[in-house]
Amino acid sequence: MNQLDLSYCVVNTNGRDYLLACLEAIERTHPTGLSHEVLVLDNCSDDGSVPAIEQRHPSVQVIALERRTGKAENDSMLLRTARGRYALLLNEDSELHPGAAAALVEALDAHPRAAVAGAQLLSTEGERKACAWRLPGALASLAGVLFLHKLVTVQSRGRRTRRVGWTQSSAMLVRREAAAEVDYLDTDFFVYSDETDFCKRLDDAGWDILYVPAARAVHHDQLTNDQRSARRRIVEFHRNRDLYMRKHHGTPYRLAVRALGALFYLERSVAATALPGHDAWRYRVHLSQELRPRSGEGIREAAEEYNRRTRIAP
């Protein structure tokens, strides 16, 4: 099987319209001179996503799952299937700007010991979003308590490519050789902290993680507008952050970080009651889950419920 330069790897779950926009952006912005393929893993959508791809983008390779699985498992399947030296992981609601793929490829070409290059993410309105951070730990948690999070923990700033702790996988170029070395993403992470753990393990193996501000991509972040799933997403966020801490740190350290995290959310829940435009309820839910991260039902349970409802056996 001949190796290509670049594999675009898109995960989609019921995001038909966003997905079509994502694929159109890939077509518009792909750099000339690089051989490529486009793969879409459809996570058991029921909104007509697969027929729409087949009709409008017949050259796209579709992996259509018959049951819903987690993001880490989805991305790992794509990385294993891809034929490119590099694989550009994308969410269905991500749209590449012109030059983004080229800038990410150039960054990894210029840094042979770099495994990951993350793009600068933009909101739907075009505003820069935090998308690269210091790895979770006591320093990052203490910075949050002291209201220094943006200064100490957020690393997606500046105009030059720089090393960072981890980058968001909504538009993240991966050197497949490095991904194979660490056995891809850990599927114990259903969603959230999966890319954090991936970057941590790559760093432990001697690979660098890069933030590339010259590469830009819109991330519409469709789920932030879905208030019905807010609690499930918060449950899943804390469950997987706790899994990350259990995996990489001992109990005393993990409990200290949890205490700092609880203080962080307590401070903000109190402040939100007095400040307009801040959601005190959301901070209170975060606080509750920080204290009991393995309680409640998250996105994993929603997927399991969907699979049961559609009578799809594991």
What is the longest distance spanned by two Cα atoms in the chain? 61
**What is the predicted pLDDT for the residue at 76?**
98
> In the numeric block, which tokens belong to residue 84?
């490119």
Percent of the chain exceeding pLDDT 70 equals 96
Same domain, 233 and 211: no
Q: What are phi and psi of 213, to 5 degrees?
A: -65, -20
Q: Which residues does 262 contact at the CB level (< 8 Å), separation at least 6?
A: 287, 290, 291
Domain end (from 224, 250, 276) = 224
Q: What are phi and psi of 242, to 5 degrees?
A: -65, -40
Closest by CA to 86, choosing from 204, 212, 197, is 212
**What is the predicted pLDDT for the residue at 226?**
59
Same domain, 139 and 101: yes
Percent of the chain exceeding pLDDT 90 equals 91
Question: In one letter, which amino acid is 249?
Answer: H
Sign of CA dihedral 33, 34, 37, 40: negative
Across the range 113-126, mean pLDDT stands at 97
Same domain, 33 and 171: yes
Across the range 46-55, mean pLDDT stands at 96
93 lies in some domain: yes
314 lies in some domain: no
Across the range 155-166, mean pLDDT stands at 97
Residue 186 has pLDDT above 60, yes or no: yes
Residue 216 has pLDDT above 60, yes or no: yes
Residue 2 has pLDDT above 80, yes or no: no
**What is the predicted pLDDT for the residue at 311?**
76
Coil, strand or helix at 179: helix
Domain of 144? Answer: 4-224
Domain end (from 224, 240, 264) = 224
Same domain, 244 and 218: no
Same domain, 256 and 172: no
**What is the predicted pLDDT for the residue at 314?**
54
Confidence of residue 148 (pLDDT cuts 50, 70, 90): very high
**What is the predicted pLDDT for the residue at 130?**
97
Number of domains in the chain: 2
Same domain, 91 and 196: yes
Please write the tens of the pLDDT for every residue from 28-47.
999 999 999 999 999 999 99
Coil, strand or helix at 135: coil
> In the numeric block, which tokens belong to residue 271?
């402040």
**What is the predicted pLDDT for the residue at 100?**
98
Same domain, 67 and 195: yes
Domain end (from 184, 208, 224) = 224
Q: Which residues does 263 contact at the CB level (< 8 Å), separation at least 6?
A: 145
Please write the tens of the pLDDT for every residue from 81-95.
999 999 999 999 999
> In the numeric block, which tokens belong to residue 214?
């010259």
**What is the predicted pLDDT for the residue at 220?**
93
Residue 80 has pLDDT above 90, yes or no: yes
Which class for 66: exposed (0-12), middle (13-18), buried (19 or more C-beta within 10 A)? exposed
* Mean pLDDT (the chain, rounded): 95
Q: How far apart are CA 213 and CA 290, in angstroms?
A: 32
Closest by CA to 56, choosing from 48, 67, 64, is 48
Q: How far apart are CA 314 and CA 301, in angstroms?
A: 13
Q: How far apart are CA 12 and CA 66, in angstroms?
A: 13
Coil, strand or helix at 164: coil
Residue 255 has pLDDT above 70, yes or no: yes
Please work out, in degrees rounded to the nearest 5, the angle formed at the alpha carbon of residue 198 by the alpha carbons of 192 and 200: 105
Confidence of residue 284 (pLDDT cuts 50, 70, 90): very high
273 lies in some domain: yes
Same domain, 218 and 120: yes
Question: Where on the phi/psi map is residue 123: left (φ > 0), alpha (ψ -120 to 50), or beta?
Answer: beta
Residue whose token pair is 């193996």:
205
**What is the predicted pLDDT for the residue at 222?**
61
CATH code: domain of residue 57: 3.90.550.10
Residue 18 has pLDDT above 70, yes or no: yes
Polymer length in residues for the chain? 314
121 lies in some domain: yes
Q: How far apart are CA 9 and CA 234, in angstroms?
A: 26
163 lies in some domain: yes
Same domain, 168 and 241: no
Same domain, 160 and 85: yes
Same domain, 109 and 242: no
Same domain, 135 and 254: no
